[in-house]
Amino acid sequence: MPFRMRFGEDDLLRCRFAISPLWETQEAVRTLNRTERHGYHPRWLHRIGAASAGLDLTPLWLLMPQRGHTPDWLGPPPLGPAATFEEEIAGVRAAEPEAAGEDVARALADTPGAAGSPRGRALLADPARTVRELADLLEAAWHTLVEPDWPRLRALLEADVAFHSRRLAEVGLGGLLPELDPRFAWHAGTLTVDWKGEHVRELGGQGLVLMPSVFSWPDVVSGFDPPWQPTLVYPARGIGGLWAEPSDRTPEALVRILGRGRATVLTALDEPATTTALAFRLGLAPSSVSAHLSALRDAGLLLSRRYGHQVLYERTPLGIALASGGG
């Protein structure tokens, strides 16, 4: 049964991409409790295994039914394209307790017995305390599960947004949406999502937030009730190489031409990335990576462009040819 979003003229002008560290944190928590997702993140699960054991995530898991509603206020659409976790968690802490309590009750109702369990009753008893405690728990989950890998995650998400922004310019919104995921279809101003249940939403001039996600993969999430802007979360591109270790096989022919540092940086840019993300991935000092990127850009092998407060680097056609033909 489909989920349909109907666009008006104003909605077409208010579509935007966004990246959310808070959303990735919420979905990382969900992933820990869903074994069917574990195969996509084995290195991450190994890294966070001991640290995650110190987190009691049960209150959050109670609000994440296998099928059903998760409170929107715990992971609302980000306000801007590059919101920080600190900005987003402040919004969670500012949730109105009565509305948050109603949202919690709706989520608990989708898991049989959850509302009557000791934890469920505690969540319902004092909504203001629930807002505080769940915000604290999400912040602890961020620091433990996601923040250490955020440069790598953000680089992949930014690369996805950069790629699809170019495709938007080339094929328009109607052409782009079915490319984001095979479950999306566009016809006559209506986006149809192959989804469980029947639901129709008039966007009403709010537009649509398009948000790639790593930890939601391979699921699609759509909806978000008012007052939040309608949002469509889709699987990010490139997850297959997300947790791969840097290659130690930089082509020697490329090393002889460029030097090992520059050749390594050029080879690592399979997807657009920032200086910080490359330094994290390669285990090099950001200052060294920055110098290599500048030299490669000056030589016509890379180009750079700004996305929010980040600068992304990607190969030019010459850089692609050199990196792929260096061996």
DSSP β-bridge partners for residue 223: 231
Per-residue tokens: 67? 């099928």
User: Rounded CA gap, 139 and 44, in Å?
Assistant: 18
Burial class (CB in 10 A: 0-12, 13-18, 19+), 219: middle
The first and second tokens of residue 189, run together, are 């101003």
pLDDT in tens, the chain (327 residues): 578 888 988 888 888 899 999 999 999 999 999 888 898 898 899 889 888 888 999 999 999 988 888 898 898 888 777 789 999 999 999 999 999 999 999 999 988 888 889 999 999 999 999 999 999 999 999 999 999 988 888 878 888 888 888 888 888 888 898 888 888 888 888 888 887 666 788 888 888 899 999 998 888 887 677 777 888 899 998 777 777 665 556 778 888 888 889 999 998 887 778 888 888 888 889 899 999 999 999 898 898 877 666 788 888 878 877 886 644
The residue type of 231 is T
Beta bridge partners of 221: 233
Q: How far is CA 55 from the centre of its chain?
A: 22
Going by the DSSP 8-state scheme, the letter that residue 247 receives in this structure is P
pTM of the full structure: 0.77
Tokens standing for residue 229: 């802007």
Q: What angle do CA 134, 135, 137 make, to 5 degrees?
A: 60
Q: Where are the domains of the chain?
A: 2-17+152-237, 21-149, 245-325
Contact criterion met (CB below 8 Å) for 181 and 220? yes
Q: Please say whether the structural domain 245-325 has been given the CATH code 1.10.10.10.
A: yes
